[in-house]
Amino acid sequence: MLDLKELKEFAKHGNSLFPLEIYDCWFEVDGLLVPYHWHNEIEIIYVEKGKIGVTINSESKIVNEGEMIFINSEDLHQINSIGDNYSRYYALVFSPDLLSFKSSDHCEIACIRPLINKTLKLPQSIDSDKDYSIKVLDLFKEILEEYKFQQPGWYLDVKSCMYKLFSIFTRENVFIELSSDISHVSYKEDQIKKALEYIHNNFNEKIYIDDIASALGINTQYFCRFFKSIIGKTPIEYINRYRINAASEFLQHEDISIIDVCFRVGFENQSYFIKLFKKYNNMTPLEYKKIFLNSNY
């Protein structure tokens, strides 16, 4: 379960012995799945059914059934469903430290260490007409299979597949090299990260837009225009959507009253909370809660 009280995204993906996690995600109606966030880990997404929209650093892309997309460390990104069709995707989130060596061999120097230092990036996507795209997809599916059943030695096979994946990227020259002395995070992205950090840290309390703008050292009106130009939503719209997402998480995983959820995610008016929840989830909080309560029996 995502720890919604952390800034950026500090959820533990895997554990210290094996920092890798695979999430099986599905959605049935049009709406936001995962709001803008960022993390230090690399993320690989594979769409098994339907299609989803992925925005990475303000660049939006539709990922269709059978396609993959790669999200690099510290990339701002969000994921949304498209239309009313059922969609299902898998998200593999891992720290490149997983693949690091104690000794500085050629693999460590040429590939793994640059990934950790963010001077080497994965391509955002791979053209499906490339011969090696089938190999990449097969390797990802093998990782899914090993992770799902976790037979003895599964973690060795997962790491083996990851190395094979990166060997293909190296052979096909699709890695993106960055200068070590030039930051790949733009000023705008850095400012947005600070704004999102403020919201994620304080979503359960009353948030004043003036305070966010002040934390960034910019004018409130300019901040509102700037935020919408990057995120595509006003700060208030984003805050409300983030709070509803947090409420959905609580209702899925805890037996908690609707009024307690309302206050826990920062709303002061229960009627307004229920109205917004229904707007975004096409059902009331109580109806939503019953679905997950019933699924646990």
Q: Where exactly are the structural domains of the chain? A: 20-177, 187-295
Q: Which fold has domain 187-295?
A: Arc Repressor Mutant, subunit A (1.10.10)
Considering only CA atoms, which of 201, 220, 217 is closest in space to residue 209? Answer: 220
Angle between helix 235-253 and helix 187-202 axes, rounded to 10 deg: 50
pTM (global) more than 0.85: no
pLDDT band of residue 295 (cuts 50, 70, 90) is low
When mean pLDDT is compared across 196-210, 215-229, 280-294, the lowest value belongs to: 280-294
pLDDT band of residue 169 (cuts 50, 70, 90) is very high
Considering only CA atoms, which of 101, 93, 83, 98 is closest in space to residue 2? Answer: 93
When mean pLDDT is compared across 42-51, 164-173, 190-199, the lowest value belongs to: 190-199
Model confidence over 209-244: pLDDT tens digits?
999 999 999 999 999 998 988 887 899 999 999 999
The label of the residue with tokens 């990227």 reads 169
pLDDT band of residue 296 (cuts 50, 70, 90) is low
Considering only CA atoms, which of 59, 64, 68 is closest in space to residue 49? Answer: 64
Query: Once rounded to an integer, what is the mean pLDDT over residues 151-172?
Result: 96
Is residue 293 over pLDDT 80? Answer: no
Phi-psi region of 66 (alpha: psi -120 to 50; beta: other; left: phi over 0): left
Of residues 117 and 220, which shows the higher confidence score?
Answer: 220
CATH fit for domain 20-177, picks 3.20.20.370, 1.20.810.10, 2.60.120.10, 1.10.150.120: 2.60.120.10
Query: Once rounded to an integer, what is the mean pLDDT over residues 60-67?
Result: 94
Kindly write down the DSSP assignment for every residue of the chain, as one continuous string: ---TTSSS-----S-SSS-EEEEEEEE-SSSEEEEEE--SSEEEEEEEESEEEEEETTEEEEEETT-EEEE-TT--EEEEE-TTS-EEEEEEEE-GGGG--SS--HHIIIIIHHHHTTSEE--S---TTSTHHHHHHHHHHHHHHHHHH--TTHHHHHHHHHHHHHHHHHHTT--EE--TTS-SS-HHHHHHHHHHHHHHHHTTS---HHHHHHHHTS-HHHHHHHHHHHHSS-HHHHHHHHHHHHHHHHHHH----HHHHHHHTT-S-HHHHHHHHHHHHSS-HHHHHHHHHHHT-
Where does residue 69 rank: exposed (0-12), middle (13-18), buried (19+ CB within 10 A)?
A: buried
